[in-house]
């Protein structure tokens, strides 16, 4: 299921796809993180954040979590690269450095990580004791471009599942969902398993609504409410 669930994310995605510029890719993933980790749930999304108070390094996005009403711990570190000449290994190497520095300075046993290569991303856990970047889905090795998931394809639910796992909303490991997807795709056609949902086209979802789409005549976004059998406008 696509991550593009709001008009803001659709527009941010369009900008990131249309222009291979790192700040536009950053803007898309920042918008997504802010939506997934709202302040009302005691999260804070910080951009260009240092792994530790004294560090001179800067991670593109850090998700902080309020504990005991006073302590902000780091839940997620995200490094973003544009898809052009950038290498996924560069993002992975950097996020490992940030994770190591953070864990050496804290009492945490692990920290979640995300690496984004353009509008594709992959989620990880970095453990303090093993010092290994463990993938939450995809191949076990680092540097696998095939394991990066486009935010606007069906497999994007692997990213959503990873976020839910980080927030302790589920105990299902995202890799288990991936195995289920592989079984289902084997029953269908290759074209069905690789099709992306392009912004601007309605598609039914489990929520009872279609995805947001742009009405080009009215220049407004709309989605279809299947229960009420009517369009909702934004």
Helices (H), the chain: 7-18, 22-36, 88-104, 157-166, 174-187, 190-194
Q: pLDDT tens digits for 165-210?
A: 999 999 999 988 876 665 555 544 333 333 333 344 334 444 566 7
Examine the domain organization and report whether 125 and 220 are in the same domain: no
Examine the domain organization and report whether 216 and 112 are in the same domain: no
Residue 216: pLDDT band with limits 50, 70, 90: low
Examine the domain organization and report whether 109 and 177 are in the same domain: yes
pTM, 2 dp: 0.79
Quick one: what percent of the chain has pLDDT higher than 90? Answer: 63
Whole-number Å distance between alpha carbons of 111 and 127: 7
- Structural domain tally of the chain? 2
Q: With respect to residue 153, please indicate whether it lies within any of the assigned structural domains.
A: yes
Examine the domain organization and report whether 133 and 207 are in the same domain: no
Examine the domain organization and report whether 193 and 212 are in the same domain: no
Examine the domain organization and report whether 53 and 139 are in the same domain: yes
Instruction: Specify the length of the chain in residues.
Output: 234
Which residues, in sequence order, are bridge partners of residue 233? 222
Q: pLDDT tens digits for 220-229?
A: 777 777 777 6
Domain that holds residue 71: 7-197
Q: With respect to residue 2, please indicate whether it lies within any of the assigned structural domains.
A: no
């Amino acid at each position: 299921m696509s991550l593009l669930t709001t008009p803001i994310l659709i527009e941010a995605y369009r900008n990131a796809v249309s222009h291979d510029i790192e700040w536009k890719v950053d803007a898309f993933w920042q918008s997504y993180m802010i939506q997934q980790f709202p302040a009302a749930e005691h999260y804070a999304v910080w951009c260009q954040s240092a792994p530790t108070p004294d560090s001179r390094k800067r991670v593109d996005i850090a998700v902080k979590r309020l504990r005991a009403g006073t302590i902000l711990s780091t839940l997620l570190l995200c490094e973003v690269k544009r898809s052009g000449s950038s290498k996924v290994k560069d993002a992975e190497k950097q996020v490992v450095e940030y994770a190591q520095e953070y864990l050496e300075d804290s009492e945490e046993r692990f920290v979640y990580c995300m690496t984004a290569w353009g509008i594709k991303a992959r989620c990880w856990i970095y453990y303090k004791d093993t010092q290994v970047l463990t993938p939450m889905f995809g191949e076990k090795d680092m540097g696998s471009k095939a394991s990066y998931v486009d935010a606007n394809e069906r497999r994007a639910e692997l990213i959503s599942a990873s976020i839910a796992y980080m927030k302790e909303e589920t105990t299902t490991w995202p890799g288990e969902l991936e195995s289920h997807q592989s079984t289902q795709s084997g029953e269908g056609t290759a074209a069905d398993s690789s099709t992306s949902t392009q912004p601007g086209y309605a598609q039914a979802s489990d929520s009872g609504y279609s995805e947001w789409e742009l009405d080009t005549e009215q220049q407004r976004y709309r989605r279809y409410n299947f229960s009420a059998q009517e369009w909702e406008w934004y």
